[in-house]
Structure 1
Amino acid sequence: MTYLSMIFLQIVAPILVLLFVGAILQKKFSFNLKALSQLITYCFMPAAVFVNLYETQVDLEVLGQVTIFIVLFIGSQIILSHFIAKMLRLERQEAAVFKNSVVLINSGNYGIPVAQMMFATQPIGVAIQVILVIFQNMTTYTYGLYNLISSTKSGLSILKDFLKMPIIYALIAGVLLNVWNVEIPQVFRIPLDHITEGFIAVALITLGAQLSQIEVRTLVNKIIILSCITRLVVGPAVALLIIFVLGLDGVVAQSLFIASSFPTSRNSSSLALEYDVESNTAAQTVLFSTIVSCLTVTVVIYISMLLFT
C-alpha cells in the first residue's frame, strides 16, 4: 500500500466520515450549532487539553530542540500570515480567520496518527508530535483566541473575554499537576477521560453539521486557496529552512518537518463558530486543507525520508 493510500485511509478518510455523519444529522435534525459550539468550547476542549498536558512526559533535550523550532516556526507563520492579510487588504474578521488558518495546525487527531504510522519503531517521533500538540493547544487558546476576540472587540473587553475561557485554566492546571505529580482521584479522572475520548468525534461532527450549510462552489475563493497554499506548501518550506539553520537531523528533523505540513486545525473553526467570526470561511478552510493535505503531506513525508534517513 502506498503512503498516499495509507494516509488517506487511516487518517483523512476517518475524518471525512465524521464530517459526513455531522452533515447528514444536521440535514435531518437541524442542530443548534451555537449550542454545540459552546459545549465543545466550555466542556470538551478544556478536558481534552487538561488530560493531554497532565499525561505527557517529555525528555528535556528533545523538549529544548522542539521548543526552539516551534517558537521560530510559529513566529514565522504569524509574521507571514499578517503580511499576506495586509497585502490582500482583508477586513478585520477575515484577517483573523485567515491568520488562524495558517498558524493553527491540526497536530492532534491528524498529526498523532501520522506520527504513529511513520515512527512505529521510533517512539521519539511520536513523543515529538505530542509536544507539538501541547504547543499548538497553547497557541490556539492564546494567539488564536486573541485574534478572534480582537476582531470584534477592543481594549479591556478583549482581556475580560479571554479570561472567561476555561481552556486557559485547563492549560495551567494540566501543567501544574503534571509538574507536581499530583494524582487525580478516580471520581474525577474517569469523567475527564470519558469527555476527552468524545472530544474529537463531537468536534468533527459539529464541523460537518456546519459544513452542510455551505455551498460547494464557495470553496473556491482567494482567502481559502491562499490559506491552503500558505499552510500546506509555504509552511513546510519555512520549516525545512529552520531545520537546516538549527542543524537538526535524524528522527527529530524528520518528525518536525512532517508536522509542519499538517492542515488547518479544526479548533480554528470551532472558535470562529463560538465567536461568530466568519465561521463559514473557517469551516471551509478546514475542509479544503484537510482534503488537499492527503497529497501534500505525502510529498513532505517522501522528501523527509530522502533528507533525514
Structure 2
Amino acid sequence: MIYLSMIFFQIVAPILILLIIGALLQKKFQFNLKALSQLITYCFMPGAVFLNIYETSVDMSVLGQVALFIVFFIGSQMLLSHYIAKWMKLEKKESAVFKNSVVLINSGNYGIPVAQMIFATQPIGVAIQVILVIFQNMTTYTYGLYNLISATKSGREIIRDFLKMPILHALIIGVILNILNVEIPQTIRIPLEHIAEGFIAIALITLGAQLSQIDLKTMINKTIVISCFTRLIVGPAVALCIIYLFRIDGVVAQSLLIASSFPTSRNSSSLALEYDVESNTAAQTVLFSTIVSCLTVTVVIYLSTILFA
C-alpha cells in the first residue's frame, strides 16, 4: 500500500497537477489550442522521440516482441469493442465513437511523459513507448478514420497525411543515426535536449487545456462508463494475457503493460469533431477516461513492478 501511494504521488499526481494547471490557465487566458497542439506535433514530440531513439540501443528480438504484442493487442481491442458495441445495440454513429474510444490510446501526450518518468534510467522503456505511438498513429489514420468514414478524404490523402507526420521522420532519422553511430554536434544536441526536456510539461499542460473545454454535464452515461471500463480495466488484462502468451518479461513486459493502461486518445475526439460524428460523446469519453486513469494507471504501474521486477 505504501509503494502504491508512492507511485501515485511521484508519477501520477505530478501529471494530474500539470493537467489542472493547463485547465486553469486555459480558463483564464484562452490559449490558441490549435497552435499549442501544432507546437507539440511539429517541435516538442519529434525532438523527444528523436533523442530517445538516438540514445537507445534496441535489440531486434525486442522489436519482434513489441511488434507481435502490438498486432495482437490492437487486434483484440478492435474485436472486443466491435462485439461490445453490438451487445449494447448502439446506433451506427455511437458505435463508431465507442470503438475508437477503446482502440485509440493516448500514447503521445499522456503515454510518453509517463514512460519518461518511470523509465528515466531505462531508455528502452521510453523507446518502446515511442514505437507504440507510431503504431497508434497508424491505427488512428486507418481504423479510426474507417469508423468515421467521410467523402472528404480519400485513402491516398490519409496515407499522405500519415507520411507527413514529423514524429515518423524523427523516428527514422533517429534510427539511422543510431545504427551508423553518428555523433551529433553539441551546437545541435543542446537545443534538442532543451526541447525534449520541455515536452512533458508542454504536452500535459496542453492536454489539460484541451480537456477543460469539454462539457461535464452529461459525462456519466452507460456508453462512456463501459467504454472507459473496457479501455482502462479490460485493456490491461488482455495485454497481460498477451505478454504471458509470448513469454515477454523484464522492462519490455513492464513497458507494454503500462502502455496498455493509458486513457482514450484525444485524437478520437478530434476525428469525431472533424467528421461531425457524436463529437460531444467522444470528447466526454476522453475527459472521463483521463480522470479515472489517474487511479487505474497507478495500480497497473504497481502491478507491473511486482510481476516484472
Q: TM-score, normalised by structure 2?
A: 0.79
Aligned AA for 2:90? L
CA contact (8 A) 1:37 1:206 kept: yes
Match of 1:269 in 2: 266
Taking a change above 3 Å as real, the CA distance of residues 158 and 67 of structure 1, as seen in their structure-2 partners, is closer
1:68 is the counterpart of 2:68: yes
Counterpart CA distance in 2 for 1:192 and 1:281 is 38
* One of 98, 106, 125 as aligned partner of 2:101: 98
Counterpart CA distance in 2 for 1:94 and 1:271 is 7
1:43-75 deviation line (CA, Å, top 9, x unaligned): 222222222221211244444444433332233
Taking a change above 3 Å as real, the CA distance of residues 46 and 128 of structure 1, as seen in their structure-2 partners, is closer
Aligned AA for 1:264? P
What are the within-5 Å matches in structure 2 for residues 20-169 of structure 1?
A: 20-85=20-85, 88-91=90-93, 94=97, 97-102=100-105, 104=107, 106-114=110-118, 126=122, 129-148=125-144, 151=148, 152=150, 153-169=153-169
Aligned AA for 1:130? V
Match of 1:231 in 2: 231
For the residue of structure 1 that corresponds to 2:218, the secondary structure is helix
Aligned AA for 2:130? I
CA contact (8 A) 1:262 1:297 kept: yes
CA contact (8 A) 1:258 1:297 kept: no
Shift of 1:104: 4.8
Counterpart CA distance in 1 for 2:106 and 2:197 is 25
The aligned length equals 298
Shift of 1:252: 5.5
Aligned AA for 1:259? I
Shift of 1:127: 5.2
Shift of 1:135: 2.3
Match of 1:120 in 2: none
Aligned AA for 1:214? I
Match of 1:206 in 2: 206
What are the within-5 Å matches in structure 2 for residues 190-205 of structure 1?
A: 190-205=190-205
Q: TM-score, normalised by structure 1?
A: 0.79
Aligned AA for 2:71? V
Q: CA RMSD in A?
A: 3.4
Deviates more, 1:83-92 or 1:52-61: 83-92
In structure 2, the gaps of 5 or more residues are none
Aligned AA for 1:71? V
CA contact (8 A) 2:18 2:204 kept: yes
Among all aligned residue pairs of Structure 1 and Structure 2, give the percentage whose two residues are the same amino acid.
Answer: 56
Counterpart CA distance in 1 for 2:85 and 2:6 is 35
Taking a change above 3 Å as real, the CA distance of residues 256 and 173 of structure 1, as seen in their structure-2 partners, is closer
Counterpart CA distance in 1 for 2:45 and 2:191 is 14
Aligned AA for 1:56? T
CA contact (8 A) 1:257 1:304 kept: no
Shift of 1:78: 3.5
What are the within-5 Å matches in structure 2 for residues 288-303 of structure 1?
A: 288-300=288-300
CA contact (8 A) 1:264 1:289 kept: yes
Aligned AA for 1:37? S
Counterpart CA distance in 2 for 1:169 and 1:275 is 27
CA contact (8 A) 2:78 2:99 kept: no
Aligned AA for 1:201? A
In structure 1, the gaps of 5 or more residues are 117-122
